Amino acid sequence: MSYNLLKGKKGIIFGALDENSIAWKTAERVFEEGGKFVLTNAPIAMRMGQINALAEKTESEIIPADATSIEDLENLIEKATEILGGKLDFVLHSIGMSVNVRKNRHYTDENYDFTQKGWDVSALSFHKVCQTLYKKDAMNEWGSIVALTYMAAQRTFPDYNDMADNKAYLESVARSFGYFFGKDKKVRVNTISQSPTPTTAGQGVKGFGGFISYAEKMSPLGNASALDCADYTVSLFSDLTRKVTMQNLFHDGGFSNTGVSNEVIEKFSE
């Protein structure tokens, strides 16, 4: 169902890889709600993914950019505002990667070169995106910037590894940059803390299958899907959430406020 919530709005969507990814679903929903956008991903991800099909479906152009490179981000923002014909109303940062996780390095045995690379891609890139948008004055008033995060920033999930630290940093950037973006440009900056979601990235975490079923049993409303997250993101891009900023918004079926559920107790009482 479309409500035309984003009619006339334009933006940039980072990180659509394949149809399992939250950014992909968000692009589809934004398009359905009348928004126009440029798609972007790292050149390597673009070779792996099926982003061309999404671009065709959503009548979008693709601009490759490494989100850790200021030069790439400046080029992306210049070209996007040119293609879209003006300043931006929304930006989705849906980027995360841990080399330590990929290479099976335990949290107590990090390779710090890997750690730095993962931090740059997953966390510092959000500051770089915000700073480049800010310096270029590329956002319209009441625009909305959203990054995706996970509750491992607040609580320990042993196999989430150094991504937990990256997400904690990412959420802090949203608060800190959100202050200046709000004061100076009337732009809001938020993070969505999503349920565990079976995306290509999510499934790379060890023990993911067991964990997702645990979260399902713990959440009164069940896990939020990638499509649910896309819907929530659309609401944050819309004019209905103009005074929501600097927030870390849990979108997890109630998981974050549930101590224990009857289903989990039953499972352990067997």
The answer to whether residue 232 is catalytic is: no
Rounded distance, CA 54 to CA 17, Å? 9
DSSP one-letter string for 27-88:
HHHHHHTT-EEEEE--HHHHHHS-HHHHHHHTT-EE----TT-HHHHHHHHHHHHHHHTS-E
Which pLDDT belongs to residue 45? 84
Q: Which amino acid is at 24?
A: W
Angle (deg, nearest 10), helices 163-185 and 112-119: 30
* Residue 215 structure tokens: 């979260």
Which pLDDT belongs to residue 47? 83
* Whether the predicted pLDDT of 82 surpasses 80: yes
10-269 fold: Rossmann fold (3.40.50)
**Count of residues in the chain:** 270
Question: What HEC string does 243-257 produce?
Answer: CCCCCEEEECCCHHH
- Structural domain boundaries in the chain: 10-269
Q: Can you tell me whether residue 146 is helix, strand or coil?
A: strand
Closest CA to 145 of 205, 185, 96: 185
Q: Going by DSSP bridges, is the β-strand pair 139-149/248-251 parallel, antiparallel, or unpaired?
A: unpaired
Mean pLDDT of 52-79: 97
Flag the least confident range among 111-120, 131-140, 179-188, 200-209: 200-209
Which pLDDT belongs to residue 204? 74
Q: 235 labelled as ligand-binding?
A: no
Buried b or exposed e, range 117-145, using 16+ CB within 10 angstroms: bbbbbbbbbbbbbbebbbeeebbbeebbb
Q: 12 labelled as ligand-binding?
A: no
Mean pLDDT of 34-54: 92
Which pLDDT belongs to residue 205? 76
Q: 178 labelled as ligand-binding?
A: no
pLDDT one-digit tens code per residue, 139-182: 999 999 999 999 999 999 999 999 999 999 999 999 999 999 99
Q: Which single residue is written with the structure tokens 């920033």?
A: 153
Which pLDDT belongs to residue 209? 85
Rounded distance, CA 57 to CA 59, Å? 6
Which pLDDT belongs to residue 46? 83
* Whether the predicted pLDDT of 203 surpasses 90: no
Which pLDDT belongs to residue 48? 79
Q: 21 labelled as ligand-binding?
A: yes
Residue among 107, 160, 179, 232 flagged as catalytic: 160
Q: Higher model confidence: residue 203 or residue 94?
A: 94
Which pLDDT belongs to residue 202? 80
Mean pLDDT of 224-244: 98
Which pLDDT belongs to residue 151? 97
* Residue 35 structure tokens: 């928004």
* Whether the predicted pLDDT of 44 surpasses 90: no
* Whether the predicted pLDDT of 49 surpasses 80: no
The answer to whether residue 160 is catalytic is: yes
Residue among 3, 112, 134, 150 flagged as catalytic: 150
* Burial group, residue 17, by CB count within 10 angstroms (0-12, 13-18, 19+): buried
The pLDDT mean for the chain works out to: 96
> In the structure, what pLDDT confidence band is assigned to residue 270 with cuts at 50, 70 and 90?
confident
* Burial group, residue 268, by CB count within 10 angstroms (0-12, 13-18, 19+): exposed
Beta bridge partners of 62: 39
Mean pLDDT of 74-103: 98
* Whether the predicted pLDDT of 10 surpasses 90: yes
